[in-house]
A and B are shown apart, each in its own frame.
Chain A
Amino acid sequence: MEEDEFFGEETFQHYCAEFIKHSQKIGDGWEWRTSKDCSDGYMCKTQFQIKNRTAVSHRGTSARVQTCLPMEEALEPPLDDFEVTETTTATEVIKYEYHVLYSCSYQVPVLYFRASFLDGSPLALKDIWEGVHECYKTRLLHGPWDTITQQEHPILGQPFFVLHPCKTNEFMTPVLKNSQKFNRNVNYITSWLSMVGPAVGLNLPLSYARAAFQDEGNVDRQDSSIEPKSLEEL
């Protein structure tokens, strides 16, 4: 049975192209880069974040988890990345680069990222950890490879941090099965990135989810029968 090409490189590039189309519409900054020696490439985005902000109290873990599912996002107001309730004496600007590459070994997308201060000096892993949201930390600490590690970027050859891809299929399969059950158009990249991105400070505006439904006549956002089961595994 040929499930091997279930999420092949071409499919990956197709979903990235759709994703970037929407990003361009809303000015979200994602772009595609091709590798010099090959036909493959990756999606990337640079964003700036402020460090040393005071931790904002969220409305409990379950609410946070619900906002990760694209379909459920409509029920919760989007969380503001730059929300600062108290001014701290020293705020620093961190430059984050996010790259989405395709892994042919696992046949899934993989999120690579790195962070540096504006003077170019890189952030260490422990500083990155400080930026990981609490609800992800426990899950991410489960195994030596179920977590964030530093690895060589397969195309650029430079050190990046990576969210290990070996569990991606596990949590994406229920999402995709459900979407097939309810005849929904789902952009794999949008769904996947909306789940793994927040763990490392990358949030997707709500409109990405809406963009995936554009081809459908009937958009039912109140459908809560889709269980966030996959996120317990995250």
Chain B
Amino acid sequence: MTDDKDVLRDVWFGRIPTCFTLYQDEITEREAEPYYLLLPRVSYLTLVTDKVKKHFEKVMRQEDISEIWFEYEGTPLKWHYPIGLLFDLLASSSALPWNITVHFKSFPEKDLLHCPSKDVIEAHFMSCVKEADALKHKSQVINEMQKKDHKQLWMGLQNDRFDQFWAINRKLMEYPAEENGFRYIPFRIYQTTTERPFIRQLFRPVATDDQLHTLGDLLKEVCPSAVAPEDGEKKNQVRIHGIEPVLETPLQWLREHLSHPDNFLHIRIIPQPAD
């Protein structure tokens, strides 16, 4: 299964070239140069932008700096979503680099969660991992782990250490041989056309006749409007990590290979862009 293991690495090391520009209304003592950075798809904005923050803080006075937040074309960026997901939802059809605007004032309280420290990101990340395990294993695997194992998951993500992370994460990806798969698949479906932020539901990887459920089965069940009728044109693009998986792909495989480090499958559906 060496091919499949490569998928794990490809997912982990995916990067998005990004250009950070300071918002024009921020008060600066001198001109602020844009800052370029390769962002890891699987990480979180506030975890990987310390250098960006320092770069812009150098040209500002302390009293003009409060909590940093990011915005793309007027939309405040939710730091608690994986970076790759944000890009795929908002900017995938634009040319690279991804242009993000940096703010230090007027934090949008109604749209964004606060992120006062790295502990908050860790708490959020671990909360997702825990929730995913509740769906997969009734929380048995995560609860049996020691605190140091939880810490290793987090440190692996924070320090971009694939092996360190997967040494623990593989336990969360295991399932008993007698069952064909996990209890339920942890997933979230994001559509830009609906009000609610995402869809989440209980869905099993295996049907009652022991057939493996596919991505297409999931979409048909959970958001049928997104799937094209058999004779119709494809209305929507379904993407995970920026790629469009074949709808016949078994969910179990997607689950094991295309999940984010938080153990969720983040699936994004946007209308097919006009050619």
Contact A105 B195, beta carbon cutoff 8 Å: no
Other than the given A152-B78, A166-B134, 14 more pairs (CB < 8 A) read A4-B183, A38-B199, A104-B201, A105-B131, A105-B186, A145-B127, A145-B130, A150-B120, A154-B196, A154-B198, A157-B196, A159-B109, A159-B110, A159-B112
B135 touching A105 by the CB < 8 A rule? yes
Q: A104-B201, A166-B130 are in contact. Are A37 and B195 (CB under 8 A)?
A: yes
- Contact status of A152 and B197, CB under 8 A, knowing A105-B131, A145-B123, A164-B127: yes
Count the B residues whose beta carbon is within 8 Å of the partner chain — how many? 32
Residue of A nearest to B127 (CB): A145
- B183: chain A residues within 8 A (beta carbon): 4
Contact partners of B123 in chain A: CB under 8 A: 144-145, 149
Residues in A whose Cβ lies below 8 Å from that of B124: 149, 151
Find the A residue at minimum CB distance from B200: A104
- The CA-CA distance from A183 to B196 in the complex, in Å, is 40
Q: Which residues of B contact A121 (CB under 8 A)?
A: 109
Could you tell me which B residues sit within 8 Å of A by CB distance? Answer: 78, 80, 109-114, 119-120, 122-124, 126-127, 130-132, 134-135, 139, 183, 186, 194-202
User: How close is A214's CB to chain B, nearest CB, in angstroms?
Assistant: 32
Majority DSSP secondary structure for residues of A touching B: loop
User: Once bound together, how far apart are the Cα atoms of A124 and B114, in whole Å?
Assistant: 9
Known interface pairs A105-B135, A151-B113; A37-B194 also in contact (CB < 8 Å):
yes
* B126 contacts across to A, CB distance below 8 A: 144-145
| Inter-subunit contact B127/A150 (CB<8 Å) | no
B196 touches A37 (CB 8 A): yes
- Complex: how many Å from CA A140 to CA B122? 17
Chain A residues packing against B (C-beta within 8 Å) = 4, 35-38, 104-106, 121-122, 124-125, 144-145, 149-152, 154-159, 164, 166
Evaluate contact between B131 and A106: CB separation under 8 angstroms. yes
With A144-B119, A149-B123, A164-B127 as contacts: A154 and B202 at CB distance below 8 Å = no
Contact status A166-B139, CB under 8 Å? yes
Query: When chains A and B are docked, how far (Å) is the Cα of A164 from the Cα of B134?
Result: 13
15 contacts across the A-B interface (CB closer than 8 A): A105-B131, A105-B134, A105-B186, A122-B109, A144-B126, A145-B126, A150-B120, A151-B113, A151-B124, A152-B197, A154-B196, A154-B198, A159-B109, A159-B110, A159-B113
Bound complex: CA A178 to CA B114 (Å):
41
Chain A: CB-nearest residue to B122: A144
Chain B hits for A149, CB < 8 A = 120, 123-124, 127
Looking at chain B's contact residues, the main secondary structure is: loop
Given A106-B134, A122-B109, A150-B114, A155:B127 Cβ within 8 A: no
Residues in A with CB closer than 8 Å to B196 are 35-38, 154-157
Of chain A, the residue at the smallest CB distance from B222 is: A38
Bound-state CA distance A152–B111 (Å) is: 9
- A157 x B113 contact (CB < 8 A): no
B202–A104 CB distance below 8 A: yes
Complex alpha-carbon distance, A128 and B119, angstroms = 18
Q: Report how far A164 CA is from B186 CA in the complex, Å.
A: 18
With a cutoff of 8 Å between Cβ atoms, the chain B residues found around residue A150 in the complex are 113-114, 120
- Distance in Å: Cβ of A145 to nearest Cβ of chain B: 5
Residues of B contacting A125 with CB < 8 Å?
114
**When chains A and B are docked, how far (Å) is the Cα of A122 from the Cα of B110?**
9
Q: When the two chains form their complex, are residues B113 and A152 in contact, meaning their CB atoms are under 8 A apart?
A: yes
Smallest Cβ-Cβ distance to B80: which chain A residue: A152
Choice from B111, B195, B200 contacting A36 with Cβ under 8 Å: B195
From residue B227, how far is it (CB to closest CB) to chain A in Å? 16
Q: Nearest Cβ in chain A — how far from B199, in angstroms?
A: 8
What residues on A are CB-neighbors of B194 within 8 Å?
A: 37
Task: State how many angstroms separate the Cβ of B222 from the closest Cβ of chain A.
Answer: 10
- Inside 8 A of A105's CB, which chain B residues have their CB? 131-132, 134-135, 186, 200
